């Protein structure tokens, strides 16, 4: 959205934080994820801290947010209520995990290192930088953290184990994956048959990931080549 892209990253991140809180505090629908019984009621248990990484204009920003834990009144088990674009054990959000993975999978000549770049510039973390009042020692120790090339490798591995999560979200076309029988995986992209199978599986479910609801009120996608 053009009007959102013109806003400062701090405003977009603050809005994302509010959207996450609004969603996670809404009462969960459907069966309990523990006892899997429908028609049960839940009550709020506690808020837990959570870090999230968001890529905006070629930089990786980290925000601290919270997720609501809910307790099932029937089995007394508790669970975190994740927005559909947030995943357990991953700081990056699902749309950007799928997008970066797609950059690698959809281009036979793409390497992991190049997939972590925007217009040839590596994605970097938006860490605080030394200013004019900083000491010389602080300026010398300043180091710009770049996204590791292995990040996309791990994204693809995670997508492979994401299928049960997509089933829980009732993604309609999950049972009808895209037909990639004619896709030839370049041999230099894998060293084992297991990794080749991971690449094929990830490419199959990328369209399903694209169906997941994105950020509720704004778009933070970068323009990847």
Whether 120 is in a domain gets the answer yes
For residues 182 and 100, membership in a common domain is answered with yes
The answer, yes or no, to whether residue 37 has pLDDT greater than 60, is yes
125 shares its domain with 48: no
First to last CA, the chain: 19
Check if the beta carbon of residue 62 is closer than 8 Å to that of residue 51: yes
User: Are both 14 and 106 inside the same structural domain?
Assistant: no
Q: What is the per-residue pLDDT for 113?
A: 92
- Whether residue 12 lies inside any domain: the answer is yes
133 plus 43 within the same structural domain: no
Residues 112 and 70 both lie in one domain: no
Same domain, 190 and 98: yes
45-86: pLDDT as tens digits: 889 999 999 998 888 999 999 999 999 888 888 888 888 888
What is the phi/psi pair of residue 172, to 5°? -60, -45
Residue 107 scores a pLDDT above 50: yes
pLDDT band at 222; cut points 50, 70, 90: very low
Q: Check whether 4 has a pLDDT greater than 60.
A: no
What value does the mean pLDDT take over residues 33-56? Answer: 86
The size of the chain, in residues, is: 225
Highest mean pLDDT among 50-54, 79-83, 122-126, 183-187: 50-54
pLDDT, the chain, mean = 78
Tell me the pLDDT band of 129, cut-offs 50, 70 and 90.
low
pTM of structure: 0.78
pLDDT at residue 41 tops 50: yes
Query: For residues 83 and 23, what is the distance between their CA atoms, to the nearest angstrom?
Result: 6
Domain end point (choices 58, 80, 102): 80
pLDDT for 105? 92
DSSP-assigned letter for residue 80: E
Question: Is the residue at 194 inside a domain?
Answer: yes
Mean pLDDT of 190-205: 87
Domain-located, residue 32 = yes
Say if residues 109 and 64 touch (Cβ distance below 8 Å): no
Domain boundary among 45, 80, 115: 80
Domain that holds residue 57: 2-80
Three-state DSSP state, 16: helix
Exposed, middle or buried, 10 (CB in 10 Å: 0-12/13-18/19+)? Answer: exposed
Do the domain assignments include residue 88? no
pLDDT value at residue 176:
46
**Could you tell me if residue 157 is inside a domain?**
yes
* % the chain with pLDDT above 70: 73
pLDDT value, residue 142: 54
Residue 13 has pLDDT above 80, yes or no: yes
Average confidence (pLDDT) over 19-35? 85
- pLDDT confidence bin for 103, thresholds 50/70/90: very high
Does residue 218 form part of some domain? no
CB under 8 Å, gap of 24 or more: what pairs does 47-54 form?
A: 48/80, 50/86, 51/91, 52/16, 52/20, 52/86, 52/91, 52/92, 52/93, 53/91, 53/92, 53/93, 54/12, 54/13, 54/16, 54/92, 54/93, 54/96, 54/220
Q: How many domains does the chain have?
A: 2
Please report the pLDDT score of residue 204 as a whole number.
81
């Amino acid at each position: 959205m053009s009007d959102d892209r013109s806003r400062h990253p701090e405003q977009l991140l603050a809005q994302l934080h509010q959207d996450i809180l609004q969603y996670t505090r809404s009462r969960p629908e459907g069966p309990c994820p523990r006892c899997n019984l429908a028609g049960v009621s839940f009550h709020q248990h506690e808020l837990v801290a959570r870090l999230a990484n968001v890529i905006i204009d070629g930089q990786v920003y980290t925000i601290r947010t919270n997720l609501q834990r809910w307790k099932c009144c029937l089995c007394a088990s508790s669970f975190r209520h994740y927005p559909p674009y947030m995943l357990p054990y991953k700081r990056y959000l699902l749309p950007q995990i799928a997008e970066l993975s797609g950059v690698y999978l959809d281009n036979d000549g793409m390497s992991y290192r190049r997939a972590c770049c925007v217009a040839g510039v590596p994605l970097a973390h938006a860490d605080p930088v030394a200013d004019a009042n900083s000491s010389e020692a602080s300026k010398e120790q300043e180091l710009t953290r770049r996204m590791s090339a292995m990040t996309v490798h791990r994204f693809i591995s995670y997508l492979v184990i994401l299928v049960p999560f997509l089933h829980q979200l009732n993604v309609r076309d999950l049972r009808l994956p895209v037909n990639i029988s004619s896709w030839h995986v370049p041999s230099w992209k894998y060293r084992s048959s297991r990794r080749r199978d991971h690449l094929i599986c990830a490419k199959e479910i990328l369209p399903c990931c694209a169906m997941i609801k994105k950020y509720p009120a704004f778009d933070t996608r970068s323009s990847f080549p």
